Structure 1
Amino acid sequence: MGTMAATTIHLLRHGEVHNPEGILYGRLPGYHLSERGFEMAERVGAVLSGQHEIREIVSSPLLRARQTAEPLARLTGLEPTIDHRVIEAENDFQGQKVSKDRLLRSPAMLAKTWNPFLPSWGEPYHKQVLRMKAAVTSLRRRVDGGVGVVVSHQLPIWVTRLHAENRRLWHDPRSRECSLASLTTLTFDGHRLVDLSYAEPCRDLLPEKAVPGA
């Protein structure tokens, strides 16, 4: 009896965004990759296409994710599928500069931080996990025995990893291991997750400071 081929799903975080004002942009439209972000997208596209025969690419509808998917799409000849389930998390602070000092000066902003375990300022972590899992499951079934790529965002990818590793979902944002253009890779045997790994193909291109959760 032959052995069933493993199915690999790469969760790719988008590249660096042009954001000189340091805004928490969330789901706001129009935020595009920076020059360095395009370089990241080219590199990770080359890495993935060189290592795997990709069967399908799925992307968040946001511009920065679609731009990150473009080099891989060009190299593989695949047309990315837009999936709203892998979009950035909702955040009540989007469009603002967020800092500890600013929170303390704004009672309205501070009031939204009453429950960091939920979190109370945005989309609950468990809801992000549910939609990401649904998207990954759909893709896993379509590429059964092959490789698929999901281009998404830091927080949805990170909580998906936490859930897969049976870790609590609430966390310090500074602890997230999900840098720009990084790969969180899920390997399945049938429907069963058998391995999770993480890689940073663009480590040398990472900026010293980046807006968390983008």
Structure 2
Amino acid sequence: MRVVASAVHLVRHGEVENPGRVLYGRLPGFGLSVLGTRMAEAAAGALAGAPVRRVIASPLQRTQESAAPIAAAFGLPIETDERIIEPFNRFEGKRFDFGPSLLTNPEAWPWVSNPFRPSWGEAYLSIAARMIAAVADAYASVEDGDVVLVSHQLPIWMVHRSLAGERLYHDPRRRRCDLSSITTVGKKGNRFVETDYRNPAGALGRAAVDEGAV
């Protein structure tokens, strides 16, 4: 019988160079800062010793750069999967604070009319579906070992909440998905489960700015 992956590691990118502190979303030109590169290297170090067979990243610059030290550590190419990209967001390019301050901005009111969907971007259900599909394909794509998917905070958080059976709507300020963190997924019987969460760049993260995520 064919053996499949033992684990899929969902790695978030490191700190982004974002001096304007805008919500960068899918905008081009937002790569890692110097600190972000160190954070990505910390994630690569945390995976040392794992039987990684593939490294797959979102097409955005910050995830490709975050995947580079992991791919180098295992002598693997960086593959790209569009399904693990950051979701579209109507606030891209703007300074954005999720919370009561939105009520003072009439221009934003139509975009925040339904926070349960959410109305300002791609639906949570859509994000969760494409991410779970990518995880399932990655899991089945190797005959043994692990697969690394380098993605973004919200997509990884949607996997976490989906597998935990929690409602997808949530307060974005309370996500447990730090920069360069590693959320590990495996299979229990016929279903995927989260098996581990690590924050190898936690010490570096205390000096990081993390304000551009959706």
Task: State the TM-score, normalized to the length of structure 1.
Answer: 0.92
Tell me the distance in 1 between the aligned counterparts of 2:143 and 2:128. Answer: 21
Within-5 A mapping of 1:56-135: 56-99=54-97, 103-135=102-134
Deviation by residue 1:144-183 (Cα, 9 ceiling, x = unmatched):
4320000000000001110000000000011100000001
Residue 146 of structure 1 corresponds to: 145
* Most deviating of 120-129 and 193-202: 193-202
Say which SS state the counterpart of residue 150 (structure 2) adopts: strand
Query: Conserved in 2, the CA contact under 8 Å of 1:22 and 1:211?
Result: yes
Say which SS state the counterpart of residue 8 (structure 2) adopts: strand
Query: Conserved in 2, the CA contact under 8 Å of 1:14 and 1:64?
Result: yes
Residue 21 of structure 1 corresponds to: 20
Within-5 A mapping of 1:198-213: 198-206=197-205, 207=207, 209-211=209-211, 213=213
- Tell me: CA distance 1:177–1:92, structure 2 relative to 1, closer, same or farther (3 Å): same
Tell me the distance in 1 between the aligned counterparts of 2:57 and 2:40. Answer: 13
For 2:213, give the aligned amino acid. Answer: G
Residue 161 of structure 2 corresponds to: 162
> Percent of pairs identical after alignment?
41
**Structure 1 residue runs without a partner (length 5+):** none
Tell me the distance in 2 between the aligned counterparts of 1:191 and 1:7. Answer: 13
Say which SS state the counterpart of residue 36 (structure 2) adopts: helix
Q: CA deviation at 1:106?
A: 2.9
RMSD: 1.9
Tell me the distance in 2 between the aligned counterparts of 1:101 and 1:126. Answer: 25
Q: CA deviation at 1:196?
A: 2.6
Query: Conserved in 1, the CA contact under 8 Å of 2:112 and 2:119?
Result: yes
Residue 193 of structure 1 corresponds to: 192
Tell me the distance in 2 between the aligned counterparts of 1:133 and 1:47. Answer: 24
Alignment of 1:137 onto 2:151 = no
